[in-house]
Structure 1
Amino acid sequence: MHDTLIFHMCRRDEWTAAQASGSYAGSSQDLADGFIHFSTGLQLEVSAAKHRRGQDGLVLLTVDSAKLGTALKWEASREGALFPHLYGELPADAVERVDDLPLGPDGRHVFPASLNIGHNDGDPLPEQPAGRNPLSE
């Protein structure tokens, strides 16, 4: 059982290069922001629609956050919700699976049904400061 699975969308060619080098430095937006943007399963559909809608040739990286150590920070972002941000490169061996993200007819990405994206799948969330629950913010 994983502590928490988190997700990142990137271009297929970026991931291919990361596999060859052993780590992923992030997209141009990630590099500009100084961290790699991730989402939880509950946040992913909205993040995809807001930041990647209509973009073809993407893959979804499913990452075991327990393998990222202290470089992974949970920080307030959209509407105060806590999002996982990785300050450093993503080791290729932290990626549990890679899925193509085809576009549906409405321009939204179609997520693999086996991931149960958008639903709380029972995986526990990381410990948060007292009184903070990313699912209720």
Structure 2
Amino acid sequence: MSEQPQVAYKILTGAQLATLEREGTFAGAPVDLADGYIHMSTSDQVQETLDKHFAGQDDLHIAAIDLAALGNAVRWEPSRGGALFPHLYGALTLSTVIAYGAVEIDDDGVLVLPVAG
């Protein structure tokens, strides 16, 4: 079995990002609260997540999250098509976000991921 990625991504609305910035923590979007964990995606999964769950929405942002900093609060569980997705059981803290920015799509229609720097 291959190693899991060390970085996951969370798509946030402007209001959700503002909460994370202001309070230093984010308990989750309505779907996260309903499911009992914060949905995240790997770099290979996040484009489909954006297309499937956020199509047509404006004021979206993407956060790159250091999974090692979250420790055992992250569980890899099957979701779309049986693929393993990182799920965060607990709040997302700003201290574990290594980069974030507005959702940008390149000329080929591909999501540009934020890079720590």
Aligned-partner Cα distance in 1 for 2:50–2:114: 18
Aligned residues: 110
78 and 89 in structure 1: CA distance in 2 versus 1, 3 angstrom threshold: same
Q: Deviations over 1:5-62 (max 9, x none)?
A: 1000010111111221111111111111111000000011111111111111010000
Cα displacement (A) at 1:111: 2.3
1:63 aligns with 2:101: no
Partner residue, 2:30: 28
Instruction: Decide which structure has greater strand share.
Output: 2
Q: Which moved more, 1:13-22 or 1:62-71?
A: 13-22
Aligned-partner Cα distance in 2 for 1:33–1:76: 14
Q: Where do 5+ consecutive residues of structure 2 fail to align?
A: none
Q: Which moved more, 1:87-96 or 1:13-22?
A: 13-22
- Aligned Cα RMSD in Å? 2.1
Aligned-partner Cα distance in 1 for 2:55–2:105: 9
Q: Where do 1:18-97 residues align within 5 Å? A: 18-97=20-99
Partner residue, 2:18: 16
103 and 20 in structure 1: CA distance in 2 versus 1, 3 angstrom threshold: same
Aligned-partner Cα distance in 2 for 1:7–1:21: 19
**TM-score calculated relative to the size of structure 1:** 0.73
SS of the counterpart of 2:34? Answer: helix
1:111 aligns with 2:111: yes
CA contact (8 A) 2:39 2:87 kept: yes
Aligned-partner Cα distance in 2 for 1:4–1:102: 22
Q: Where do 5+ consecutive residues of structure 1 fail to align?
A: 116-137
